Amino acid sequence: MKKTSLNNSDFTNPLDRAIGRGMSAFAGLLLAFAFPTEPDHPLAWMHNSMWGFVSLLPLFRCLPLPKWKDGFQIGWIMGSVFSLYSLYWVAYTQGGGLAVVGGTLLMAAYIGLFYGIAIGFLNIVVNRFASAGWFSAPFFWTGIECLLSLGELGFPWLLLGITQAETIELIQYAEITGVYGVSFWVVLVNAVLWLSFTSVNLVKLIVGAFVLALLFALPWYYSFRVMDKTDPSETIRVGLVQNNIGLEKWQYGGLEQSFSSAESLSRKAAKQAPEIIVWPETAIPCRLRTQPDCRNRVENLARELGVTVLTGATDRDPQSREPYNTAFYIDPDRPLQSYAKMHLVPFGERTPFKDYIPLFDNIDWTTLTGDLGPAEFARGDDITLFAHPKGAFTVLICFESVFPDFVRRSVDRGASFLIIITNDSWFGHTAGPFQHAQHSILRAVENRMAIARCATSGVSLFIDPYGRTSQATDIYTQAFVVGDIPTKNSGKTFYTRHGDLFAQLITGISFLLGLIAIRAQRVT
């Protein structure tokens, strides 16, 4: 096969192959360093979003390789290392048992397959089209991220665009493209950098530098124009209660402990005159609808404080007896409103494919993963639009906030603001809570929608429609925060109206490029 790359090695001998695998693993680490981690992590100083723009260069150095499977192999290594380092905290969620640690390794290997496919096709295209082939990288990468988001095993946690959540001066165009457009941009920067700085041609170097400048100048200019606008709107005053009662809530005495802490913090928050008080996911470990004592206690508190209360709790279908992870909105003067979580965590809250494969319904995943709580919830069947005098709102429960299209469908129902309730205490003192919070920033920008995020053990915070955060709490502390967030009174964004149109277009193009790559491989 004719060499068409600037790469000087084809990695056909064992030493070169070992070097290639090492460089792909290094690329995986750089990708992981682009995501946030907990402040006390020994390598916290290494984590910076800017790594995202150079993280793929070591991988690009390995290409092209003689066969598709060679590209797949180094892509799989990169993706597996990236996933394992970034998602190590999954092993903590059920106590770190052997089954969970093994499951975490399998999850990393599974996610790595998607990146292997992307790099395998990139390898063929670069082999066939030389320098021009590198511009297919953002298409394959974005297409694979879309596939990772689909189905019962959908897990869009490590979308590359999330790394730029805090660089709000560069990502406001997400109101058009969604987070996938940010991922496309980051990979495109990697490709242009590679072509520019591996070129021996001065003209190409100058052109590359100019293109790089445009790739940062244009998003900055768009963001500057958007964020410079004054958007007069009404506000609603929201109180967030972070009671820091984790797994112990399910033990003996946990119900009273949960109530006592939530009530105490709510009374303190009420002194700042919130119009709604939010408690986190499963804040009250009881079936609030069918247990009158629990419901009455929340209603009496709401009546005493003169404020409505939104809380997470469990629910049960009276006929099927299936449990639900539910958000309840308590207004003493109105009928009880509720929303049952629709996007459930695979294996953590529901066994994937159990509705289609009867055998899976007989597996006790709870026991296998540590027996720390219920592992089988039923899926909710529809989004609920809650009524408040200051505007309607929808609630996202934990995992749901990482799915861009699901969130925008919630907004499209007519919400004026969003509330996220989550229980991240499962994650321990790890990167998990910080990674999870960054997704909410993109959801705010995509939909130009303010968000109040309430987490059991943090991070609780407010996010304005441009992704600016305020009053973020520390993790694993009891806290409350009260703040004013704008209620939306302007039109819907392009993303809210049309969803992942950009991502679908890019995925379609990547599919066509894949077919071209396969044909090119056969011809050669």
Closest CA to 403 of 443, 438, 368, 458: 443
Angle at 95 between CA 90 and CA 96, to 5 degrees: 60
Q: What's the first-to-final CA gap in the chain, in angstroms?
A: 7
CA-CA distances (angstroms) from residue 376 to 9, 346, 396, 408, 460?
A: 51, 10, 19, 26, 27
Please tell me whether residues 220 and 325 are part of one structural domain.
no
Q: How many CA within 13 A on the CB side of residue 364?
A: 6
* Per-residue model confidence as pLDDT tens digits over 376-416: 888 999 999 999 999 999 999 999 999 999 999 999 999 99
Please tell me whether residues 20 and 142 are part of one structural domain.
yes
Q: Could you tell me the residue range of the domain that residue 298 belongs to?
A: 235-344+379-489
Cα 184 to Cα 274: distance, rounded to the nearest angstrom? 40
pLDDT of residue 11: 61
* Structural domain contains residue 425: yes
CB 125 within 8 A of CB 118: no
CA-CA distances (angstroms) from residue 292 to 287, 475, 509?
A: 9, 32, 56
Band of pLDDT at residue 372, cut at 50, 70 and 90: very low
pLDDT of residue 351: 78
Q: Is the sign of the CA dihedral 450, 428, 75, 344 positive or negative? A: negative
Q: How many domains does the chain have?
A: 2
**pTM score:** 0.93
Please tell me whether residues 179 and 278 are part of one structural domain.
no
- CATH number of the domain where residue 408 is located: 3.60.110.10
pLDDT above 90 covers a percentage of the chain that reads: 69
* Per-residue model confidence as pLDDT tens digits over 450-507: 999 999 998 999 999 999 999 999 999 999 999 999 997 678 999 999 999 999 999 9
Please tell me whether residues 305 and 449 are part of one structural domain.
yes
* Structural domain contains residue 5: no
The residues facing 314 across adjacent strands are 287, 325
Please tell me whether residues 221 and 305 are part of one structural domain.
no
Please tell me whether residues 333 and 241 are part of one structural domain.
yes
Band of pLDDT at residue 371, cut at 50, 70 and 90: very low
Cα 454 to Cα 301: distance, rounded to the nearest angstrom? 19
Please tell me whether residues 77 and 147 are part of one structural domain.
yes
Cα 179 to Cα 165: distance, rounded to the nearest angstrom? 9
pLDDT of residue 123: 93
| 3-class DSSP state of 463 | strand
Which of the residue ranges 68-72, 336-340, 373-377, 389-393 would you say has the lowest mean pLDDT?
Answer: 373-377
Closest CA to 371 of 65, 128, 17, 100: 100
Reading phi first (left if > 0) and then psi (alpha if -120 to 50, else beta), residue 455 is in: beta
Cα 287 to Cα 309: distance, rounded to the nearest angstrom? 16
Q: How many beta carbons lie within 10 A of that of residue 154, not counting itself?
A: 17
* Per-residue model confidence as pLDDT tens digits over 276-308: 999 999 999 999 999 999 999 999 999 999 999
* Structural domain contains residue 362: no
User: Which pair of structure tokens corresponds to residue 231?
Assistant: 């958007």
pLDDT of residue 5: 40
* Per-residue model confidence as pLDDT tens digits over 311-323: 999 999 888 788 9
Cα 215 to Cα 195: distance, rounded to the nearest angstrom? 14
Average pLDDT in the chain: 89
Closest CA to 208 of 141, 136, 128, 135: 135
* Structural domain contains residue 297: yes
Long-range contacts of 157-160, Cβ-Cβ distance < 8 Å, separation of 24 or more? 157/87, 157/402, 157/435, 157/439, 158/35, 158/82, 158/83, 158/86, 158/87, 158/111, 159/183, 160/31, 160/34, 160/52, 160/186, 160/187
Element of type H or E holding 190: helix 179-197
Please tell me whether residues 183 and 40 are part of one structural domain.
yes
* Structural domain contains residue 324: yes
* Structural domain contains residue 358: no
Q: How many residues does the chain have?
A: 524
Please tell me whether residues 172 and 272 are part of one structural domain.
no
Please tell me whether residues 215 and 239 are part of one structural domain.
no
* Structural domain contains residue 496: no
CB 243 within 8 A of CB 283: yes
* Structural domain contains residue 363: no
Cα 79 to Cα 228: distance, rounded to the nearest angstrom? 38
CB 455 within 8 A of CB 476: no
Cα 352 to Cα 361: distance, rounded to the nearest angstrom? 9
Between 428 and 502, the higher pLDDT residue:
502
Cα 80 to Cα 86: distance, rounded to the nearest angstrom? 10
**Per DSSP, which regions of 295-376 are E strands?**
308-316, 323-330, 337-340
Please tell me whether residues 475 and 514 are part of one structural domain.
no
Please tell me whether residues 279 and 157 are part of one structural domain.
no
